[in-house]
């Protein structure tokens, strides 16, 4: 059934309006929705596991019992299997723009059971921007985070207020090929992490960054009893008589492979060296020397997290705007075409005619044509 001219005009207007609305939505979705999605989720719970692959690389650990025994000198075990675990959660206060991250981390040797295998343990807490990953300034002007590496007499962690600067657990949404500041938990300082290369991990594009923490005297960083020890020279295994005081030094080369769209750290690697010495440039007794790398399960898990967020960003940033834009154009064109079809060939709306009287032709409401007699004289 053909539509009347009035109905046709109404439908045409609706189609044009709907098309225009969809075109506006196609523009607004990537600018508004994506900006809200391009943030680290608040329900984040990530467990990462790093081990030292048995590929001939050194894995040396000081046997702590050898330092307290009554005989013999310090003993350093070779080819020690290690595992580092970190459990990261989001805590309060957190809101639409900021989130508080808490990460508990342990390093243990797996050839010993229970507490005897525990080498280090720490808790780190910091509030960061959900988009950039950078720590935010504290409201009260004090330190924006805290770190615990020791416990009190009750066995509870002692949290030391520490100002955090630079990235740690995530890179910015839309990571670039440039140098980023990176916060080292052990030295509590920030160092440059320059871009190294673009590469792939399991067919996923990643950016490789590398940070180097210089040799640092840990006794000047944290008040831990193991960071400075005084023992007989014979116990240290060095020449001389009497007691010798040594500090524990730390250095590290940290590599990070980051998925750039989401800022997810897909793979991490640390070349850690802890040693006791009287001077940082002359290591004397190794405390720990090993290379720790994310295991395959952790890498696959991080890839899964990154891809899930990539899909969300792609849906609202690319797929939906295209669909809405195409539909908007189709509705707009259909409305214009329908509107044009509702007019006569010369562009004017056809004149309406009244109903025909019974038994006769339909009366015309067109203006009558005036007959002019050209021979008539005035």
Q: 111-132, pLDDT tens digit by residue?
A: 998 778 999 999 999 999 998 9
Mean confidence (pLDDT) of the chain: 85
Name the nearest CA neighbour of 255 among 217, 301, 305, 201. Answer: 201
The answer to whether the beta carbons of residues 258 and 265 sit under 8 Å apart is yes
Cross-strand bridge partners of residue 89: 45, 102
For the segment 164-181, what is each residue's pLDDT rounded down to a tens digit? 999 999 999 889 999 999
Q: Please report the pLDDT score of residue 219 as a whole number.
A: 96
Could you tell me the pLDDT band of residue 73, with boundaries at 50, 70 and 90?
Answer: very high
Does the structure show a pLDDT above 60 at 353? Answer: no
With bands split at pLDDT 50, 70 and 90, how would you rate the model's confidence at 355? low
Residues 6+ apart with CB under 8 A from 365: 351, 352, 353, 354
The confidence score (pLDDT) of residue 247 equals 97
Would you give the DSSP letter of residue 80?
A: -
Q: Alpha carbon of 92 to those of 135, 181, 185: distances in Å?
A: 15, 25, 21
* 190 vs 163: CA distance, rounded Å: 10
Instruction: State residue 296's pLDDT score.
Output: 95
pLDDT digits over 191-202, tens only? Answer: 999 999 999 999
How far apart, in Å, are the Cα atoms of 115 and each of 159, 224, 323, 333?
Answer: 21, 18, 58, 73
User: What confidence tier does 139 reach under pLDDT thresholds 50, 70, 90?
Assistant: confident
Average pLDDT over every residue of 92-108: 93
Distance between CA atoms of residues 305 and 265, nearest Å: 10
Mean pLDDT, residues 271-297:
97
What is residue 323's three-state secondary structure? helix
């Amino acid at each position: 059934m053909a539509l009347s001219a009035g109905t046709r005009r109404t439908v045409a207007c609706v189609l044009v309006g709907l098309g225009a609305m969809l075109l506006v939505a196609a523009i607004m979705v990537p600018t508004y929705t994506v900006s809200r999605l391009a943030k680290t989720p608040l329900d984040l719970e990530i467990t990462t596991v790093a081990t030292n692959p048995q590929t001939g690389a050194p894995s040396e650990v000081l046997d702590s019992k050898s330092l307290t025994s009554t005989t013999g000198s310090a003993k350093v075990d070779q080819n020690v299997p290690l595992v580092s675990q970190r459990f990261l959660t989001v805590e309060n206060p957190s809101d639409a723009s900021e989130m508080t991250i808490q990460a508990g981390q342990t390093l243990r040797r797996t050839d010993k059971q229970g507490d005897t295998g525990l080498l280090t343990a720490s808790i780190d807490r910091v509030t960061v921007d959900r988009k950039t990953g950078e720590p935010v300034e504290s409201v009260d002007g004090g330190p924006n985070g805290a770190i615990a590496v020791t416990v009190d007499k009750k066995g509870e962690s002692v949290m030391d207020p520490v100002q955090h600067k630079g990235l740690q657990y995530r890179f910015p949404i839309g990571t670039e090929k440039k140098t980023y500041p990176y916060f080292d938990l052990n030295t509590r300082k920030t160092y440059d992490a320059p871009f190294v290369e673009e590469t792939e991990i399991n067919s996923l594009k990643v950016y490789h960054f590398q940070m180097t923490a210089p040799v640092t005297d840990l006794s000047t960083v944290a008040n831990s009893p193991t960071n400075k020890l005084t023992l007989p020279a014979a116990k240290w295994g060095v020449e001389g008589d009497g007691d010798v005081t040594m500090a524990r030094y730390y250095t590290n080369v940290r590599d990070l492979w980051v998925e750039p769209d989401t800022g997810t750290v897909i793979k991490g690697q640390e070349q850690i060296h802890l040693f006791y010495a009287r001077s940082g440039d002359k290591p004397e007794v190794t405390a720990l020397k090993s290379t720790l790398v994310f295991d395959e399960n952790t890498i696959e898990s991080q890839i899964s997290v990154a891809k899930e967020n990539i899909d969300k960003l792609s849906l609202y940033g690319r797929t939906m705007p295209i669909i809405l834009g195409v539909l908007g154009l189709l509705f707009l064109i259909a409305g214009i075409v329908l509107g044009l079809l509702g007019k006569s060939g010369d562009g004017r709306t056809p004149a309406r005619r009244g109903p025909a009287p019974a038994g006769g032709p339909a009366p015309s409401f067109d203006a009558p044509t005036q007959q002019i007699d050209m021979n008539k004289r005035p």
